[in-house]
Chain A
């Protein structure tokens, strides 16, 4: 207790403003005993949180990495297989195809919503109309719905006799009607469009708030220089939204890489394996066909991929 009080009082009064930098400089050369103790006290305060984090995040992470080097059914003794699970992920035709599928989903979950979001944000902020809040609210709604509800909803919409085909027929476009979720060519784009629908509103709201924080003088200046709407978008709006685009990219890309619920509820990876994603393959390996090592390897690869993407986006967006 006494130590804690000492810590509080030291950090509380802060000392004279001029002394602090000098003290830090001295520390850098050779930390005094008390300063070193202080640092450990800080760690002590963080310990409960760190411990919890270690138990629920770090330890399972380490375990997953460990499992990924074994062939294990989840119950009986495991056998060491080295990198075989990783090799299988990239060489097994079905498992490898999940990577191709997820690239298609990336376009629908990330690129398309961001492009559409930018476009609608630019339009909305240019022409301020009454009732825009309601408009925004409607587009944001999918973000609030549970993914299971969304999946079930679209399963109905995509059914052979569902509203989408009915609508096509109503316009005499019978030739375009399809078994959307049962079609080898169309099932994946059909699933992707659900993702676009879900993330579009989110991107739009994010960009609208971003645009409103761009200084109005910049727009004014651009207009005075004779910039049209397109020019204004590319010279003012787009650069001003760099931070928001980075956030949107990070969130939507990682969401796309993790796509599970949508596929599991609608197609289970079918027809054939045309909509199988790494996350669905992971789930099947972990819980349906007991091959825990393979599941762990898929998980580790996807986690590393997510990390690389996030790092790359941060690097690029923060570059001056």
Chain B
């Protein structure tokens, strides 16, 4: 009897809650739309003594970089204190939407580009439109258009890759290129490849000598090789347009099928690390740095974590395209810097964003062994891989040859690529079907955008 009564009461409460919840208010507010701030100024001193919160996902050398920039900025502007919180990448990108809804949340934060992170934040009106600051500081002239596009959306968030600035890059780059083990190439008497044909010839020679040409791992998804190859085959504009969701451009127009075909052929020829299907990314990476598991490795810059003597033991190649002499490469700033819509001192925050793109920021990066972008810098002469990376970034700067990460094209693209890549290498799908899967993933997303 008693139990029944309690159950009835409880049931009524739950039912009432469900009704209230589902009928009355849909989740997700529509915050007031943010337009670009109108009264913008470069004057940082005007703000008086202020403390700004900064959240970012940079650790180790990258963490040192941002710390040095904060010190430099505070020295320039003694009235400003920047309080930094570092979180790991996954943690920050998955909680940034909540942090930015909090009035005491970060004023400046590093987001991930693309729809998944930056696009969602912009759509939710959580970050400032930075157009007025772009005009004030002249970012349009300073930043190559292929990099600037990565931070731009239309103000109604129906398209990515043009329109207003919602984030800024930083004076550092994260590229995909080919690393090579210097000692091994010398030992085998092979010249450093200058293009894709050279690379394939070298790989054949390495294989004939009983060594492994390419370091690769397959357990937890590894897209650098496929996307690196795609940039060698694809047309720069088509690739950009595909990723920025131009429905007229299909994955087949972007060199995707060719890249998948090449990668599969390399795997079939035994050019990849033996048993790569069962090796995880971290193990393969550590082995490669230790000189095991391959002579070459397609990799994102900075991922090898080279320092000291190791910087000289590896070289870096930003190969020109398979046809033509242009250099196109996957590259972006390692973070999209946003200003929270709730930030009380957007002028100060914007000044810091500009500082993160300055000559000083690039030079600080090089001094710490990181790849500089946007500015010319003095390179140390005892760091072969870093010189290669910096030269690669400079070449992409001058060619305006950046293409964004392919997985920005839809929120589920990274999963789609990782899963199909495993299927492809296991012989369970073809390069053509892989390309079709990529198209249907993006087209599905575009259809949702339109609705």
Of the candidate stretches A66-74, A116-124, A306-314, the one touching chain B is A66-74
CB atoms of A160 and B278 under 8 A apart = yes
Q: B79 near A: Cβ within 8 Å?
A: no
| Cross-chain contact of B278 among A71, A75, A178 (Cβ < 8 A) | A178
Query: Using Cβ atoms and an 8 Å threshold, which residues of chain A touch B302?
Result: none
Residues of chain A from 51 to 72 with CB closer than 8 A to chain B in the complex:
54, 58-59, 62-63, 65-67, 69-72
Q: B426 near A: Cβ within 8 Å?
A: yes
> Interface extent on A, as a size class?
35 or more
CB atoms of A59 and B17 under 8 A apart = yes
| Cross-chain contact of A181 among B21, B278, B420, B426 (Cβ < 8 A) | B278
Determine which residue in B14, B30, B121 has the highest number of CB atoms from chain A within 10 A of its CB, and name it.
B14
CB distance from B117 to the nearest CB of A (A): 9
Residues of chain A from 138 to 163 with CB closer than 8 A to chain B in the complex:
155, 158-161
Query: Using Cβ atoms and an 8 Å threshold, which residues of chain B touch A266?
Result: 219
Query: Using Cβ atoms and an 8 Å threshold, which residues of chain A touch B126?
Result: 75
Query: Using Cβ atoms and an 8 Å threshold, which residues of chain B touch A90?
Result: none
Q: B105 near A: Cβ within 8 Å?
A: no
CB atoms of A273 and B419 under 8 A apart = yes
Q: A80 near B: Cβ within 8 Å?
A: yes
Query: Using Cβ atoms and an 8 Å threshold, which residues of chain B touch A62?
Result: 14, 17-18, 21
Of the candidate stretches B189-197, B204-212, B238-246, B410-418, the one touching chain A is B410-418
CB atoms of B123 and A270 under 8 A apart = no
Q: A287 near B: Cβ within 8 Å?
A: yes
Interface residues in B, total, Cβ within 8 A:
45
| Cross-chain contact of A72 among B28, B276, B423 (Cβ < 8 A) | B28
**A76-B124, A159-B279, A287-B94 given as contacts; is B22 within 8 A of A272 (CB)?**
no
| Cross-chain contact of A268 among B17, B27, B221 (Cβ < 8 A) | B221
CB atoms of B277 and A74 under 8 A apart = no
Query: Using Cβ atoms and an 8 Å threshold, which residues of chain B touch A54?
Result: 13
CB distance from B42 to the nearest CB of A (A): 31
CB distance from A290 to the nearest CB of B (A): 6
Q: A39 near B: Cβ within 8 Å?
A: yes
CB distance from B406 to the nearest CB of A (A): 15
| Cross-chain contact of B219 among A63, A77, A181, A284 (Cβ < 8 A) | A181
CB atoms of B280 and A155 under 8 A apart = yes
Q: A180 near B: Cβ within 8 Å?
A: yes
Determine which residue in A80, A178, A179 has the highest number of CB atoms from chain B within 10 A of its CB, and name it.
A179
Give Cα A180–Cα B275 distance, bound, in whole angstroms. Answer: 10
Query: Using Cβ atoms and an 8 Å threshold, which residues of chain A touch B279?
Result: 159-160, 179, 182
Residues of chain A from 164 to 201 with CB closer than 8 A to chain B in the complex:
178-184
Q: A115 near B: Cβ within 8 Å?
A: no
CB atoms of A76 and B123 under 8 A apart = yes
Query: Using Cβ atoms and an 8 Å threshold, which residues of chain B touch A78?
Result: 26-28
Q: A28 near B: Cβ within 8 Å?
A: yes
CB atoms of A73 and B428 under 8 A apart = no
CB atoms of B18 and A75 under 8 A apart = no
Query: Using Cβ atoms and an 8 Å threshold, which residues of chain A touch B399?
Result: none
Q: B378 near A: Cβ within 8 Å?
A: no
Residues of chain B from 1 to 37 with CB closer than 8 A to chain A in the complex:
1-2, 13-14, 17-18, 21-22, 26-30
Q: B358 near A: Cβ within 8 Å?
A: no
Q: B329 near A: Cβ within 8 Å?
A: no
- Which partner residue on chain A sits nearest B423 by CB separation? A272
Query: Using Cβ atoms and an 8 Å threshold, which residues of chain B touch A63?
Result: 21, 27
| Cross-chain contact of B17 among A58, A287, A290 (Cβ < 8 A) | A58
Q: A133 near B: Cβ within 8 Å?
A: no
CB distance from B31 to the nearest CB of A (A): 9
Give Cα A186–Cα B415 distance, bound, in whole angstroms. Answer: 21
CB distance from B186 to the nearest CB of A (A): 27
Q: A267 near B: Cβ within 8 Å?
A: yes
Query: Using Cβ atoms and an 8 Å threshold, which residues of chain A touch B219?
Result: 181-182, 266-267, 270-271
Q: A288 near B: Cβ within 8 Å?
A: yes
Q: A289 near B: Cβ within 8 Å?
A: yes
- Which partner residue on chain A sits nearest B445 by CB separation? A289
CB distance from A53 to the nearest CB of B (A): 10
Give Cα A273–Cα B412 distance, bound, in whole angstroms. Answer: 14
CB atoms of B1 and A267 under 8 A apart = no
CB distance from A189 to the nearest CB of B (A): 14
CB distance from A84 to the nearest CB of B (A): 12
CB atoms of A158 and B278 under 8 A apart = yes
Query: Using Cβ atoms and an 8 Å threshold, which residues of chain B touch A76?
Result: 28, 30, 120, 123-125
Query: Using Cβ atoms and an 8 Å threshold, which residues of chain A touch B14?
Result: 58, 62
CB distance from B10 to the nearest CB of A (A): 8
**A67-B27, A78-B26, A160-B275 given as contacts; is B17 within 8 A of A73 (CB)?**
no
Query: Using Cβ atoms and an 8 Å threshold, which residues of chain A touch B132?
Result: none
CB atoms of A270 and B120 under 8 A apart = no
- Which partner residue on chain A sits nearest B25 by CB separation? A66
Q: B422 near A: Cβ within 8 Å?
A: yes
Give Cα A62–Cα B27 distance, bound, in whole angstroms. Answer: 12
Q: Interface digits, B252-290 against A, CB 8 Å rule (1 contact, 0 not)?
A: 000000000000000000000011111110010000000
| Cross-chain contact of B275 among A58, A155, A179 (Cβ < 8 A) | A179
Query: Using Cβ atoms and an 8 Å threshold, which residues of chain A touch B94?
Result: 287-288
Give Cα A180–Cα B277 distance, bound, in whole angstroms. Answer: 9
Q: Interface digits, B78-95 against A, CB 8 Å rule (1 contact, 0 not)?
A: 000000000000000010
Determine which residue in B21, B126, B220, B411 has the highest number of CB atoms from chain A within 10 A of its CB, and name it.
B220
Query: Using Cβ atoms and an 8 Å threshold, which residues of chain A touch B125?
Result: 76
- Which partner residue on chain B sits nearest A65 by CB separation? B18
CB atoms of B27 and A66 under 8 A apart = yes
Give Cα A272–Cα B220 distance, bound, in whole angstroms. Answer: 10
CB atoms of B418 and A75 under 8 A apart = no
Give Cα A86–Cα B13 distance, bound, in whole angstroms. Answer: 24
CB distance from A300 to the nearest CB of B (A): 12
CB distance from B226 to the nearest CB of A (A): 15
Query: Using Cβ atoms and an 8 Å threshold, which residues of chain A touch B369?
Result: none
Determine which residue in A63, A160, A180, A182 has the highest number of CB atoms from chain B within 10 A of its CB, and name it.
A182
CB distance from A154 to the nearest CB of B (A): 12
| Cross-chain contact of A77 among B13, B30, B116, B276 (Cβ < 8 A) | B30
Q: Interface digits, B214-249 against A, CB 8 Å rule (1 contact, 0 not)?
A: 000011110000000000000000000000000000
Query: Using Cβ atoms and an 8 Å threshold, which residues of chain B touch A70?
Result: 26-27
Query: Using Cβ atoms and an 8 Å threshold, which residues of chain B touch A183?
Result: 277-278
A-B contacts, 28 of them at CB < 8 A, read A28-B1, A62-B17, A62-B18, A63-B21, A65-B18, A65-B22, A70-B26, A71-B448, A73-B124, A75-B126, A158-B278, A159-B279, A159-B280, A160-B274, A179-B275, A181-B278, A182-B276, A182-B278, A182-B279, A182-B422, A183-B277, A268-B221, A270-B418, A272-B422, A272-B423, A288-B94, A288-B415, A289-B116
Instruction: Given contacts A77-B29, A288-B94, list 6 more A-B pairs with CB under 8 A.
Output: A67-B27, A77-B30, A160-B278, A182-B277, A182-B279, A272-B423
For the complex of A and B, the 6 pairs showing the least CB-CB separation, nearest first, are: A179-B278, A75-B124, A182-B277, A160-B275, A182-B278, A271-B422
